[in-house]
Structure 1
Amino acid sequence: MSAPTSGLVLAIDTAFDACSVAVFDPLRGAMVACASEELGKGHAERLPGMVDAVLAQADTSFGAISRIGATIGPGSFTGIRVCVSAARAYGLALGVPVVGVVTLHAMAEAWRRNRPILAVHDAKRGEVYSMLLSADGEVMAPPSALAPDKLPEWIAQAGGAVDLVGSGAAVALAVLAANRPEADSPTIVSDRSAIDMSTLARLSIDASAQHLPKPLYLRSADAKPPSRRVSLFDAAS
């Protein structure tokens, strides 16, 4: 991890079903306050109140925030727009850096141990979103949308057994284990696509703030997004 920033990090995630907010103290390397609700939809309406509540829980204010980190995808098309737009709006209002973190990176990093780890999210329509990290956290294969049967070739550089995390882990296991010796069989460490907010905050500290974050869409939306703006957050997209 790079040198800690002064002030607190506000971390926001609405990329999947959950709406999550956290306040993290880089100097202590610890979470100050966190809240998360499984919503499925309605993130834009719930997020502002949750931010206020978490700041109150942390006994702090917006003035103490020195950096904002947000998940940028892949994930729910609408959820990603909400998260990125909200983070940019808060950053503009507060005059602080805003950084983006790939959901798959946060998923993999939270469970990374002593061997390569593949984050794999069920993207539906016969595809998975995947990203491969090495045992030391380096990106071996960047975020991609691909058919599950392409995974063996796609992660060949891992060279051996990998850990699996995400809603597509079971699908990946079936494909990857088919033609491998038992010693090289993958292991599912989590079958959920969920963001650990402490990991998101830590990755936000290291992320470059040179450019404002943008949504990471690995394919077009499953449904056309609404044309009517539902909140001020969309104005920052």
Structure 2
Amino acid sequence: MADLLLAIDTANERCSAALYSLPEERLLASREEEIGRGHAERLMGVIADVLAEAGAPWRAIAKLGVCIGPGSFTGIRVGVACVRGLELSLKVPAVGISSLEALAAPDWAEGPVLAVHDAKRGEVYAALFAQGGKTLREPQALVPSDLSGFAAQAGAGLRVVGTGVEIAREVLGEGAALFRPEKRLVSIEALARLAAGRVPAGPPLPLYLRGADAKAQVPLGLRAAAH
């Protein structure tokens, strides 16, 4: 019976995959390898590892979830292309989840969350969520000095997560929020839980945000991986 969700994330430093039981609403197996680069070479091995750990065949997968960015241009392409290939091979639906949403999700039960990723080149990627997960500000590429205005509508109890926590601390000030530097990377379990509840609406598309990266990509390769 096909009742599992396969979630993957290659958008940043980690090469991650997880199997999640849709009827039981629980994680069955996961791998989160912080490799920096080389996602294309490692991803299928990580997926094979979680399938083996859960004792699940490819035919048990009913849904796919992928982190669509923002993040590493190459990493995003690897993840989205892989899921597109599996979507076609397995004939199952797929959903895309923003890395900023997945970063914020574990903390938004406690209050509003600002997810900030250090985008380099003097920019950050940021998104703002209310307590409970409603999106207050959609993902944007910003210069750090714009973070104060971007986060202004959050209200009291703001939490800040992501690789840009220290950048945000410098701009917002020490007492302006609860800064969580330990919450710097996406949890594959958080990604899987979000994907499980998301209704598919067409193939996942990369979320690059930066102008030079914002080019439509043709999903490539990996279509035969499930055979």
Give the structure-1-normalised TM-score.
0.86
Which residue in the other structure is 2:191 paired with?
200
Residue 214 (1) aligns with residue 205 (2): yes
Cα distance in 1 for partners of 2:180, 2:36 equals 24
Task: Flag the 1:45–1:121 CA change in 2: closer, same or farther, 3 A.
Answer: same
Residue 152 (1) aligns with residue 141 (2): no
Which residue in the other structure is 1:226 paired with?
none
Deviation at 1:25, TM superposition (A): 0.7
What stretches of structure 1 move > 6 A for 4+ residues in a row?
Answer: none
Per-residue CA distance 1:186-218 (angstroms, 9 max, x = gap): 111234531111111111022231211010011
Identity of paired residues, percent? 43
Deviation at 1:234, TM superposition (A): 9.5
Alignment of 1:125-144 (within 5 A): 125-144=121-140
Residue 120 (1) aligns with residue 116 (2): yes
The aligned length equals 219
Find the residue that maps to 2:69 and give its secondary structure.
coil
Q: What letter is aligned with 1:83?
A: G
Residue 31 (1) aligns with residue 20 (2): no
Task: Flag the 1:75–1:234 CA change in 2: closer, same or farther, 3 A.
Answer: farther
Cα distance in 2 for partners of 1:209, 1:113 equals 24
Name the Cα RMSD after superposition. Answer: 2.1
Alignment of 1:3-152 (within 5 A): 7-152=3-148
Per-residue CA distance 1:27-57 (angstroms, 9 max, x = gap): 2221111112111111111111221121011
- Give the gaps of 5 or more residues in structure 2: none
Task: Tell me if structure 2 keeps the 8 A contact 1:82–1:233.
Answer: no
Per-residue CA distance 1:64-96 (angstroms, 9 max, x = gap): 000000000000000000000001101110000
Q: What letter is aligned with 1:232?
A: G
Which residue in the other structure is 2:178 paired with?
187
Deviation at 1:142, TM superposition (A): 0.5
Task: Tell me if structure 2 keeps the 8 A contact 1:169–1:191.
Answer: no
Per-residue CA distance 1:127-153 (angstroms, 9 max, x = gap): 110011101110000000001111111
Deviation at 1:157, TM superposition (A): 1.2
- Give the gaps of 5 or more residues in structure 1: 1-5, 223-228
Q: Return 169-178 or 82-91, whichever deviates more.
A: 169-178
Task: Tell me if structure 2 keeps the 8 A contact 1:119–1:166.
Answer: yes
Task: Tell me if structure 1 keeps the 8 A contact 2:166–2:181.
Answer: no
Task: Tell me if structure 1 keeps the 8 A contact 2:103–2:183.
Answer: no
Q: Return 92-101 or 112-121, whichever deviates more.
A: 112-121
Give the structure-2-normalised TM-score.
0.90
